[in-house]
Amino acid sequence: MRLIFLGPPGAGKGTQAKLLTERYGIPQLSTGDMLRAAVAQATEVGKRAKAVMDAGQLVSDEIVNEIVSDRIDQSDCAKGFILDGYPRTVPQAIALGKMLEGKGLKLDAVIELKVDEAALVKRMENRVAETIAAGGTVRSDDNPEAFKRRLTEYREKTAPLSEHYAGTGQLRTVDGMADVNTVTAEIEKILA
Ligand code: AP5
């Protein structure tokens, strides 16, 4: 099973990807998590990505295309994977199509979580509060200014992917405003 989750920041992509990972035994490939790990380890990619991420902007297509291609080649992706936060631009989607074709792989579905933008700031604030309560480190882009920029980047660069995947006949849409379990059930219906 090879899936893409689409949706704005806070739509629930990571939450649903984690749940499906357990259900289907395939890994969640979150480009955000991979980039944050690179920043934490101060790798070359991490050094290039840090300021861009902190500002809520998108990292270059070249960087993310390369890290995803390398990740898909790892043995735990043999049975499939869930792409969370990638692709995020039309050029990334085109690169992914070529990448998968080159590896002899096909996508099974592209699932878009539809949400009201007004609810997303609240979700981000909840995540910050939960992280602090758990003694964790708050994401450097989970603040009002960077979040606003992330939403703008989404509208300008990522939202056009809905049309792109509608055109390929792979797009499925789920109401991401429902509670977490209902969203999961709707996704499982699509995948059944
Ligand atoms: P990334 O880490 O991908 O962040 P994001 O897309 O902004 O998404 P989030 O993690 O904020 O949201 P989510 O949809 O996963 O929601 P979640 O499940 O956590 O990217 C970060 C940065 O990395 C980017 O800005 C960019 O700089 C860079 N980057 C990453 N990929 C890139 C790419 N491909 N190209 C270029 N740059 C890239 O849920 C959010 C909160 O809501 C949680 O608290 C959760 O508990 C709650 N919640 C979830 N579902 C529900 C529900 N149904 N009801 C109520 N609450 C819910």
Per-domain residue ranges for the chain? 2-191
**Res 39: pLDDT:** 96
pLDDT band at 20 (very low <50, low <70, confident <90, very high): very high
**Res 89: pLDDT:** 98
Q: Mind listing the pLDDT tens digit for each residue in 41-99?
A: 999 999 999 999 999 999 999 999 999 999 999 999 999 999 999 999 999 999 999 99
Identify whether 150 is a catalytic site residue.
yes
99 CA → ligand 1 middle, Å: 24
- 34: helix, coil or strand? helix
Distance of CA 34 to the CA centre of its chain: 11
Q: Which residues of 17-48 are buried (b: 16+ CB within 10 A; e: fewer)?
A: bebbbeebebbbbbbbebbbebbeeeeebbee
> Left if phi > 0, otherwise alpha if psi is -120 to 50, otherwise beta: which for 178?
beta
Q: Mind listing the pLDDT tens digit for each residue in 137-178?
A: 999 999 999 999 999 999 999 999 999 999 999 999 999 999
Catalytic: which of 2, 50, 71, 88?
88
Catalytic: which of 13, 36, 50, 71?
13
139 CA → ligand 1 middle, Å: 11
**Res 176: pLDDT:** 97
Pocket test for ligand 1, best of 6, 13, 128 (most atoms within 8 A of CB): 13
Pocket test for ligand 1, best of 35, 69, 115, 157 (most atoms within 8 A of CB): 35
- With tokens 């380890």, the residue in question is 41
Fold topology of 2-191: Rossmann fold (3.40.50)
List the one residue out of 107, 96, 34, 30 whose CA is nearest residue 69: 96
Q: What does the block give as tokens for 147?
A: 């979040």
144 CA → ligand 1 middle, Å: 14
Number of other residues whose CB lies within 10 A of the CB of residue 149? 17
Identify whether 2 is a catalytic site residue.
no
Question: What average pLDDT does range 23-51 have in this prediction?
Answer: 96
